[in-house]
Each structure stands twice: as C-alpha cells, then as structure tokens.
Chain A
Amino acid sequence: MTLKKSTKTILSITVLVLIALLLFHLEQDKRANSYILSILERSIIYAVVAVSMNLLNGFTGLFSLGQAGFMALGAYTVGILTIPVENRPSVYYTSGINETIANWHLPFLPALLMGGLVAALAAALVGALILKLKSDYLAIATLGFSEIVRAVIASPQLDMITNGSYGLKKIPRFTTVYIPFALAAACILLMILLINSSYGRAFKAIREDEVAAEAMGINLFKHKELSFVISSFFTGIGGGMLACYMGSIDSGTFRITLTYDMLLIVVLGGLGSVTGSILGSFLVTAGREWLRFFDEPHAIFGWQIPLFRSGFRMVVFSVLLMVVVLFYRKGIMGDKEFSWESFFGFFKRLIPKKKKLAGGNTHD
C-alpha cells in the first residue's frame, strides 16, 4: 500500500494536533485529571530514557545496563541546582549544606543541561575505560558503574552535597504538562536526527558486525564512545526530568530495577525502533496502572476470588513481559519504524482475511 507524501504529512500533523489538543484539554482541569497527567508525564520522561537506551543497545549494539546511574547523576545535578535557596536549610537539615554549593542556583533549563553534561562527562570517562569490553562484560561493568554511583551518592562522606541517604526534597515540580512533552520531543528529535546521520549509519554497522565495520574504515572506539556519551547525555536529561516530576529523590530511586524497567520498555517496543520505544514507555507505564485491577480484591456472587490481592499486579505484569520476551521476541515494532502504510496495511489485512491476524507491522 502506498500513500502520497502529502497525505502522510497531513495525517502526522493531524495526530500531533490531536495530542496537543488532548494535553490542552487535560490541562484545563488539572485537579480532576491529575492522575492521567502524571501517568502521561512519567511515560514521556521514560520515553526519553528508553530512546536513548535504544540508541546504545538497539542501534549501536552495546549492551549497557548503566541507565539508572546516569539518570541518578542527571537527577541529582538538577536537584542540587534547582532547589530554591531559601528551602535548602530544611532539605539539608541533618548535616547542613556545603558552603560552596549553598548559593549555586540555576533556572530549570540550564540546570537540566548541566545534568545532561555531568552524565555525559561521567560517560566519557567511564566509556574510555570499559568500552573495549565485549557484550556481557560491558553489561555487567556498566551495571557495576551504576551501583557505584548509587553508593557514592548515598555515602555519608557526601552528606553535605547529596544529603546522603535522606535524598533531596522540594525540587520544583513541572508547572504544566507542556514542559516535559516539549523537552522530550526535542530530545527524541535530536536522537532521530543523529540516527539518520552518517554517524547513525556507522553505529548500525558496528551493531551488525564490529570486525566488518572496522574493516570498512569505521573507527570503532570513536563511534562507540560517541554513542555512549550521547546516550548518557540524554539519559541524564531524562533523569533530571524525573527529578522534577517526582519532586523528591533518593538513592533508592535509582536501583537496578529502574534500568530493568527501561530495558523492558525498549525490548517491548522493539530493539532498534525509536517509535517502538516511545510506544513501549506509554504502554508499560499505563499498563502498570491498568493492572492495578489485579491488586484489589474482587468477588463474584459473594465468592471472593482468591488470587486478587496486593502484589498480584506485578506478577501478572512480569508474566506478560516473559511472554513477550519468549514469544514476541521482536517486540511491538521489531526494528521498523512507525509508518502510515503499515498502520493502514495492518487494518486492511485485519478486516477481510481473518486468518492472517499475526505479523502486522511489515512494510508491503
């Protein structure tokens, strides 16, 4: 099925306008819609991190599990720089604040940029050391890095800067839902541009075959380092946005499970698909809320169904994820991007021939 380019542009613009209208509508009555708004905000923040993880894992083929650590760096930088100066004594009530940083204060956007830069700097240093490692070793080393970051943040020696295990509070929240959406859109757009550039093609070549890529004249280390640093920059930005979304953070926020969540989003969406990661982050975040149904007791005709109690939701959720991993290994989008042709093609095939339900998103 083919569509004219102008039709596709019109369709895409319509969808974007619809999303903007939806946000506008929700924004009108913030109090009533606060639940939906918070889910949407969390999803879009996760989308930034998921896309940047995909840039590394899906497009460059470097299996990194350090996301939580880079997010922590971004989040703490943003937190330390944006907590209003007058609120600081009440945040650092246990051991006081380091005098040097006590009066450092930046508005949100520069602080966010700083957060990204701190994460990128850390990535540049760590990457220079560990990027020569092969797949699983790299995964475990980055995972180790993320745990080291967490330990350093929580250590009593840094109480005056990170407030140790008490964490940071009173980080100014987002005032409207537009800010995270606009920021996320900008970040994701930048990454898409990168992926479609010659650098992006070099990344994909490295993913397919390192030795062959090197033989074709691609400087392996330079490109791996570049991918790692850029991915970490956006992961740091995502972490900073998460800090603003949550308002209070501590080292426990950035456990390995956060990285695993991101990984599951990326896998569910499809390794190597940006739109897949975005879809995945909305599905996973919202899915977790929808499944709340399983956490409450239910009764049919007065008979209490035995399985439904607190915690069941996460079991169902993890079983669903295992099913995806085992049976739909490619995720929702595989390594393809969303296109209107495949979107309509999917419905077209769905209606007349009911036999061929599976295998939707192929280009034809």
Chain B
Amino acid sequence: MSLTTILQHSLTGISLGGAYALIAVGYTMVYGILRLINFAHGEIFMMAGYFMIFSMASFPWYISIPIVLAGTALLGVSIEKVAYKPLRSAPRMSVMISAIGVSYLLQNLATYLFTALPRGYPEIPGLKKVFQIGDLSSSVVTFVTPVVTILLAIVLVQMINHTKIGMAMRAVSKDLDTAQLMGIQINSVISFTFLIGSLLAAIGSILYFTDRMSVNPFSGSLPGLKCFVAAVLGGIGSIPGAIVGGFILGIGETFMVAAGFSTFSDAFTFIMLIFMLLVKPTGLFGEKEPEKV
C-alpha cells in the first residue's frame, strides 16, 4: 500500500468513525443512566434517514435538518416513555427484551411504510463536492464529519460537567435511587438523555447516509450494534471513550475492507469487542464498578 492509499483510507475511516462515534455517544449515555443496551438506537438512526428523505422531498435542506432533528428526538423520547418507562422496576432482562421488541417493531414498520427497497438519500448541497489535495480526493462530508463529531463531543462534555442538568445526569448515572431521593426528577433526566442521544443519532445519520447514498429498513441494525461495541470499547458511560471507540472501529473497519477482508469487516468489530472484554472489561476510559452483594 502506498502512502497515498493509506491516507485515502484513513480519511474514509475517520469519516465513518465520526458517524459511529456520534451514535455510540447515544448508547453510552443511555447505558450510563439506565444500564440498558438501547437496541432500538440503531433503528432510531435508520428512521432519521427516512425522515430526511421525506422532508427533503418538500423542503430545502436548511428547513429539513431541524425537522429531522426534532422528529428523531421526538421518536427517541416517545420510545423511552412507551417501552422503557413502564419497566423501570422490572428485571434488566425484561427491559432489554423490550428494547429488542422496539427495534423489531421499527424495522417492520419501516418495511411496511417505505418497502424494503433501498431509497436514495437526498444530497445536501455542498456536502458531496469533491476535494482534491495532491493525489487525495474526497468529498466535503468526509472532512465535515470528524469536525462536527469532535465539536459536539466538546459541547456535550462541557454540558455534562458544568450545567445543572449535566450534574443531574451524573447523579442519576451514579445511583438512580439515591438521586431520586435527593429530589432529582429522574424521569425528566432520562427523557433528556434520550433526547440528546436521538439528536446525535440524527446528526450521525445525516453524515453517514450522505456518504452511503441510500437507506433501507435494515440499514440501522448493524451500525447500531457496531456503535454499541464502540461504546464498550471506549468504556461504557464515558463520552470521550465512545468517541475514541467510534474512530477506532471506523478506521479499523475501513482498513479491513482495503486489505481485502470485506466479509470480515463486520466480524472485526466483534472480535475487537471480545478481545476488549477479556483484556479490560471496563473499556479504555471506563470506571470499575465494584460488585455489590
């Protein structure tokens, strides 16, 4: 591999990783607070793709993007209200099964409403323009994605560390019951977490699908699982960890494809996961939780 191809693949990998990172943040935040793998997160991401297709059909992009963000946030929050809130005191397995059920429902709903055929993703003007730097060629979205990701991550970390709602979120993630006793409205904190997670998934979806060009009802499930893996890699509950994990997976996967192991690129993610769980189960930036009897 020459230097140019390596750089070229790195660019693609970083861009893919940026989109993964944004989705992984959603997983890590929900897991941090509810100890729940939100299996429906990948489907929220897929639905955001469809929202964009339909709003771009009638509005220009600068109106469509807010519509998509609002729609996705609404979807995420209502899923929490309908499917997870009634199970708050239930065993963890029930909540997880409920999450799987929601993801199944959203996939089937999307198949029913939009058919299983892939639909073309609309182009946001300017994002697909091709850049040339020396021998490297890449579209604007490739450069935009990591920048947006890192900016959002910084904003999010600031919010969690320095605002009142951020403090509440940290408290709930430490101990849900005690936080409630201290007068924190846990339901609104949880809703807010889903809101942020879904917004990031929507932004991730715009960046991811602009690169991929088409959406189908199943295009959310595998990226969803991979992003959960990214969150575990970085240490679940940690936002910088999720970002780093996302980039590691995106870059690793791109190089696997480049090396000719495209069928293994999905497996790579899970091999990384099992390896990480064996070596350092808490992930790169995770905190160790003592086992309580």
Contacts and interface: CB of A to CB of B under 8 A. Distances in A.
A57 to B, nearest CB: 8
B229 A315 contact: no
B281 A148 contact: no
A152 B87 CA distance: 37
B108 interface: yes
Contact of A130 (B116, B261, B274, B293): B274
Chain B CB count within 10 A is highest, among A130, A144, A311, for A144
B83 A326 contact: yes
Given A136-B37, A140-B232, A329-B90, A151 B264 contact: yes
A322 interface: yes
Interface in A153-211: 154-156, 165, 211
A181 to B, nearest CB: 29
B212 interface: no
A118 interface: no
Interface residues of B, number: 45
Given A136-B92, A144-B273, A321 B101 contact: yes
A297 to B, nearest CB: 14
A151 B267 contact: yes
Given A135-B93, A318-B105, A322-B83, A148 B225 contact: no
A147 interface: yes
B37 A139 contact: yes
Interface string B250-293: 00000000000101101101110110011001000000000101
B270 A148 contact: yes
A102 B103 CA distance: 42
Contact of A314 (B83, B108, B229, B277): B108
Contacts of B273: 140-141, 144
A326 B115 CA distance: 27
Interface residues of A, number: 45
A129 B269 CA distance: 17
B102 interface: yes
B86 A326 contact: yes
Contacts of A130: 274, 277-278
Nearest to A294: B112
B267 A136 contact: no
Chain B CB count within 10 A is highest, among A136, A309, A314, A329, for A136
Given A140-B228, A140-B232, A325-B97, A315 B109 contact: yes
B74 interface: no
B271 A148 contact: yes
A155 to B, nearest CB: 4
Interface in B97-136: 97-98, 100-102, 104-105, 108-109, 111-112, 115-116
**Closest CB pairs A-B (n = 9):** A144-B270, A151-B267, A311-B112, A314-B108, A318-B105, A155-B263, A148-B267, A322-B101, A318-B108
17 contacts: A130-B278, A135-B92, A136-B35, A140-B225, A140-B273, A148-B270, A154-B263, A155-B264, A257-B104, A260-B100, A264-B97, A314-B108, A315-B109, A318-B101, A319-B105, A322-B101, A322-B102
